Structure 1
Amino acid sequence: MPPKLAEIVEEFASAPRDVVLEMLLEFADSVPPLPAALADRAGMEQVPECQTVFFLRAEVAPDRTVTTWFDCPPEAPTTRAFAGILAEGLAGASADEVLAVPDDLYQRMGLAEAISPLRVRGGTAILARLKRQVREQIA
């Protein structure tokens, strides 16, 4: 797992439950805006498992560094938080590091005790689709 993502996981796992939702909101506010080339979501994949409209795209550079983009409305702070966590935690990560992220990432963070199982399932689907895009590009 990329070091920055491991640090985020540890921060959430060790935080008191009443602080976890506040931490999620901070990550919801940290989702970078889409570049102009993706403004119409062309080339992005929708994640239908999410309760809200959510799109993502992963791009693997020749040096195997992964760049991620996420699009989710501001009115969906929990789902945006998943995007913010992945955007920050995977920034500069290699394809191998992205693929090594555990599928139960959000459970390891302790989010299953703080948010609904449906939301955790949506976050897990986001990670799964992101990893699939990376696998497809390095194959």
Structure 2
Amino acid sequence: MPLPTDAPEPVRAVLAEFAALPPTDRVTLLIEYGDELPSLPERYADPAASMERVTECQSPVYLAVTASADRPGGVDLFVSAPAQAPVTRGFAGLLHELTGQLDATQVAALPLDLPDHLGLDAAISPLRLRAMSGLLARVTRATAAAHR
């Protein structure tokens, strides 16, 4: 299923990066995105108390989306995902990267089937793909809510 041709350039670039690799290397690339996920600021030191739980994930994953103070019209995404869940953490890192390059309208409009376009279905379980879709759905909803 092709991604809409009007997808923002950063999304198309990420998808092209994944498409250029064999499936096993795609998983490695995704995990590398997780390695780049920044530490949480102090206000989110206790994710369970200060962030939204992503219940679609088996691991304890939490997120918060706020209007960006540095990028007018943008959002800041904060995600707590354990290192013991490298695929989920990797997708969180990928979303963090994308949200830093898109405005709130573009983030809220990200296609919910984006994980399907990464070409990981041969390398990871459907359960992990559903977790990625759940994380994305929560990011898009929280982004829309942060910019009402």
Task: Tell me the TM-score normalised to structure 2 length.
Answer: 0.86
The yes-or-no answer on 1:12 pairing with 2:12 is no
Per-residue CA deviations over 1:54-83 (Å, capped at 9, x if unaligned) read 000111247321110000111110110011
Match of 1:47 in 2: 54
Equivalent of residue 111 in structure 1, options 104, 111, 120: 120
| Cα pair 1:2 1:98 within 8 Å, conserved | no
When structure 1 is superposed on structure 2, of 105-114 and 79-88 the one drifting more is: 105-114
The one-letter code matched in structure 1 to 2:16 is E
The one-letter code matched in structure 2 to 1:12 is F
Match of 1:79 in 2: 88
SS in 2 for 1:74: coil
Cα distance in 2 for residues equivalent to 1:24 and 1:92: 18
When structure 1 is superposed on structure 2, of 65-74 and 89-98 the one drifting more is: 89-98
What fraction of aligned residue pairs are identical, expressed as a percent?
Answer: 37
Matches within 5 A, 1:18-97: 18-41=24-47, 42-61=49-68, 63-97=72-106
Cα distance in 1 for residues equivalent to 2:8 and 2:44: 26
Q: Which protein has greater RCO, CA pairs closer than 8 Å, 6+ apart?
A: 1
Q: CA deviation at 1:2?
A: 4.1
Cα distance in 1 for residues equivalent to 2:98 and 2:60: 22
SS in 1 for 2:89: helix
Cα distance in 2 for residues equivalent to 1:28 and 1:61: 21
Per-residue CA deviations over 1:39-98 (Å, capped at 9, x if unaligned) read 112431000110111000111247321110000111110110011111112214211110
SS in 2 for 1:73: coil
The one-letter code matched in structure 2 to 1:85 is L
Task: Give structure 2 stretches of 5+ with no counterpart.
Answer: 1-6
| Cα pair 2:57 2:131 within 8 Å, conserved | yes
Moved over 3 A (4+): none
Match of 2:3 in 1: none
Aligned length: 139
